[in-house]
Amino acid sequence: MTWTDPLAATLAPSPDDFAALARRAFDDLPEDFRRQAGALAFRIDDFATDAVLDEQGVEDPFALTGLLQGGHPGPPTLVLYRRPILDEWCERGDIALGELVAQVVADELGQVAPSGAWPGEGWSGVRSPSLADFAALAAHALANLPLAIKAAVGDVQIRVEDFADDETLDALEIEDAFELTGVYEGVDLPRRSVFDVAPSPSSIRLFRRPILDEWCEGEVGFQALVEHVFVHEAAHHFGFSDAGIEHVEQS
């Protein structure tokens, strides 16, 4: 699957998706090891609990991607932490989700994950959305704005970056770069004057990592979220109120 087909409409990988990837990763380990390991249970949590983090001496919950817990009684349980794994997947951008999950599984079991491509159904061979994927979806959102608004937008440039730069964050008095998903730069049309001297084209900047971080919460599809951020920023081009922005999104 790619980010230009129905995958774009899906929610972020769910715990069930992770469990399926983990089982496949375990099945791909050497047969002798699997026979020796015996029964192994899998559990998928979003993050490790505070108690587990304290026990492991880890302060940042995003730093712990998995943990093998001994079964007393019962089989041992391999716990995978969904959000930290997704965070690494989004940050790297060069690894399929199935391959990354396989690395976590193998590391926790003291094994080496098989190398090679990760094709297959579902999320197995999917890499995180790139800057180009974001730009394509933003261009699609621009092309599909209502005609009256699209005509009024005029020459708007689309820029996609991983994060806002420090200058932008300081200007908006934002400390955490993950809190800014997009920004409109330019003069709103209602404030422009016929006496303006050839103003440079306005631009809409989308920030990949904060948008992906919000998508990983699992409440909205990727394409819908990118388009929401884009339309929200585009609406500033017209000085729209929040109610006006909502009307644009529903039209």
Domain-embedded: residue 156: yes
Q: Residue 241 domain-assigned?
A: yes
At 152, which CATH number? 3.30.2010.20
| CA distances for 240 relative to 8, 83, 150, 157, 182, angstroms | 27, 35, 14, 19, 16
How confident is the model at residue 71, as a pLDDT?
Answer: 65
Question: Which residue, chain included where needed, has tokens 């469990």?
Answer: 19
**Binned average pLDDT, 10 residues per bin, the chain of 251 residues:** 68 95 92 87 96 97 95 82 97 93 95 72 88 90 74 79 97 96 73 50 90 94 90 73 66 62
**Res 74: pLDDT:** 72
Together in a domain, 40 and 103: yes
Q: What is the pLDDT of residue 232?
A: 83
Element containing residue 184 per DSSP (H, E) = strand 182-185
Same domain, 77 and 136: no
pLDDT of residue 16: 96
Q: What is the pLDDT of residue 195?
A: 47
Range of the structural domain that residue 238 is part of:
131-250
Residue 209 lies in a domain: yes
Amino acid 61: pLDDT: 97
The domain boundary residue, chosen from 108, 142, 160:
108
98 with 24: CB under 8 angstroms? Answer: yes
Count up the domains in the chain and report the number: 2
What integer pLDDT is reported at residue 198 of this predicted model?
46
Q: What is the pTM of this model?
A: 0.87
99 and 135 share one domain: no
pLDDT for 38 equals: 80
CA–CA separation, 101 and 121 (whole Å): 15
